[in-house]
Amino acid sequence: MDSQRTIDGARVIVALDFPDAGGALALAAQLDPQLCRLKVGFELFVAAGPALVEALMARGFDVFLDLKFHDIPNTVASACRAAANLGVWMLNVHASGGSAMMQAARESIATCPRPPLLIAVTVLTSMDSGDLRRIGVERSAGEQVLELARLTQDCGLDGIVCSAQEARLLREAIGAEFLLVTPGIRPHDSEGDDQKRVLSPVEALRAGSDYLVVGRPITRAQDPLGRLHAISESLRAAE
């Protein structure tokens, strides 16, 4: 499972949240696979499907297929295998689907020639402790992330998606090897949008993030490659 766990290459994952293949490919054409990996989520995958994922990989990008599977174990395992067969670099499930679901997901891709990294979403970065209370979770966001991180680690997955705000606490609790993939990244001059638990790229790196998911601050920039360069440079200087 840990064949792709070593962090070499880009730490920035650009979220290609576009309504169609044309917009996604046009943005990808402005980016550099040496500087970033790409994330394909629901909107783009529903619109453009596996062909778009293959087109991005053919351009040299590692692809994180962000479909956040959350269903009964058999269904999630089959979906993970189908995703792994596409040759993606990383894929994800929801940790709140539970241990049987996560173990089934892990086992379903274990025999792939080059298994993708498999990570689990803990608490969405658009949620805070008040949102959790309203769905019956009395723990704080940080406590809930830690609980789900431990469960994910026990199930043998490669890491989690969480806010960089929790990264320092997680690093102390779960060690250096477990991957922390952190969306909700906002350079200081950016809008927060619908994100609630945010940090800047350098703050996220210093807190212990391995990979930083950045969407709108790059995709809606006047100069997306310039923005990516600036973020990459700031990270290199901080490492």
Which residues make up each annotated binding site for substrate?
Answer: 17, 39, 66-75, 125, 186, 195, 215-216
DSSP states along 158-218: SEEE--GGGHHHHHHHH-SSSEEEE--B--TTS--TT-SS-B-HHHHHHHT-SEEEE-HHH
In contact, 94 and 68? CB cutoff 8 Å? yes
Q: Which of residues 53-92 bind ligand OMP (CB under 6 A)?
A: 66, 68, 92
Binder to ligand OMP among 144, 153, 195, 209 (CB under 6 A)? Answer: 195
Q: How far apart are CA 159 and CA 105, in angstroms?
A: 13
Helix axes 21-30, 224-238, angle to 10 degrees: 50
Please give the Cα distance from 218 to 239 (Å, whole number).
21
Q: For CA atoms 170, 8, 229, 52, give the dihedral sign.
A: negative
Q: DSSP E strands: which ranges in 55-113? A: 63-69, 90-94
State which of residues 63, 215, 227, 231 lies at the interface with ligand OMP (CB under 6 A). Answer: 215
For residues 14 to 33, the per-residue mask of contacts with ligand OMP, x marking binding by CB under 6 A and - elsewhere, is -x-x----------------
Q: Which of 68, 128, 131, 193 is catalytic?
A: 68
Give least dist CB 113 to ligand OMP, A.
25
Please report whether residue 117 would count as binding ligand OMP according to CB under 6 A: no
Q: Which residues are annotated as a binding site?
A: 17, 39, 66-75, 125, 186, 195, 215-216
Query: Catalytic residue among 2, 8, 20, 66, which?
Result: 66
Nearer to ligand OMP, 94 or 113 (CB): 94
Q: How far is the CB of 50 from ligand OMP (least distance, A)?
A: 19
User: Are 35 and 232 in contact, with CB atoms under 8 Å apart?
Assistant: yes
As to burial, measured by CB atoms within 10 angstroms (0-12 exposed, 13-18 middle, 19+ buried), residue 107 is middle
66 is catalytic: yes
* Residue of 116, 183, 201, 224 interacting with ligand OMP (CB under 6 A): 183
Is 125 an interacting residue with respect to ligand OMP (CB under 6 A)? yes
User: Applying CB under 6 A, which residues contact ligand OMP?
Assistant: 15, 17, 41, 66, 68, 92, 121, 124-125, 161, 183-184, 193, 195, 213-216
